[in-house]
Homo-oligomer: A and B are copies of this chain.
Amino acid sequence: MSTTNTGPGAQSRHVTAILDAATRRFAQTGYHGTSMRDIGAEMGMHAGSLYVHIRSKEDLLDAIVWDIAQSTERRMEAVLAAGDTPVDKLRTIAEEHLRWVAANPDAATVYFHEWRHLKGERLERVKAARARWTRGLRDIIQAGIDEGAFKPMDVRLAGLAFVGMLNSTYRWLRPDGDLDTAEIAGTFMDFLLHGWAAG
């Protein structure tokens, strides 16, 4: 996976390589559709050899997903703490989001698609992190309404619309596309703020 990781979660080069390979395969064939042999083959390695470096297949999914969940949450906290307007906050989120998706389409696919194959406590942890992120988003939107930047509207639906638009980009946004991500984010924000209607 490509999110920078030099903090406490820093891993050996080997583990990083395995996580990268796993991310690619999970993105392509899904968690349950990917075998450890597939991941090994991606690295020119036997399936069993992977276990020199990792403990289980689910550990891989968890490492990939949880790492993203955490940095996503940290970004939200930073945005919330920043001293700008709700509109600018949303713009920042959209831009960063699309930039990250374009740079890490496989990781994004795993994060949005495969996280639910986690089990037990790990699943709950990720769900909780996502819920906190969503709450942050709603707070921003609510602030926008409160200060008169947005018209009165259902915050929950507004948040879901925003998330739906942004998160679905992992299905088509690729780093080599013709439009740059800032441009796309700008267009999406324009749709959301002013709509399609002429005049």
**Residues of chain A having any CB pair with chain B under 8 Å:** 29-33, 113, 116-117, 141, 144, 148-151, 153-154, 157-158, 160-161, 163-169, 172, 179, 184, 187-188, 191-199
B117 touches A150 (CB 8 A): no
Of B149, B151, B160, B196, the residue contacting A151 (CB under 8 A) is B196
Interface of A is mostly: helix
Q: Which residue of B lies closest to A191 (CB)?
A: B161
A192 touches B194 (CB 8 A): no
**Beyond the given A168-B168, A194-B197, could you list 14 further A-B residue pairs with CB under 8 A, ordered by the A residue number?**
A29-B32, A30-B117, A141-B196, A144-B196, A151-B196, A153-B187, A154-B179, A157-B191, A158-B191, A161-B165, A161-B188, A161-B191, A163-B168, A193-B196
Query: What are 12 A-B contacts with C-beta separation under 8 Å?
Result: A29-B32, A30-B31, A31-B33, A32-B32, A148-B198, A149-B198, A150-B198, A154-B179, A157-B187, A164-B164, A164-B165, A194-B194
Of the listed residues A30, A31, A148, the one surrounded by the most CB atoms of chain B closer than 10 A to its CB is A30
Give A173 to B163 CA distance when docked, in angstroms: 14
Shortest 10 CB-CB contacts between residues of A and residues of B: A164-B168, A32-B32, A195-B195, A32-B33, A194-B195, A150-B196, A164-B165, A151-B198, A193-B197, A193-B195
Taking CB atoms, residues of chain B closer than 8 Å to A187 are 153-154, 157
Taking CB atoms, residues of chain B closer than 8 Å to A153 are 187, 191, 196
Give A172 to B113 CA distance when docked, in angstroms: 14
Q: Which residue of B lies closest to A116 (CB)?
A: B30
Least CB distance from A151 to B in Å reads 5
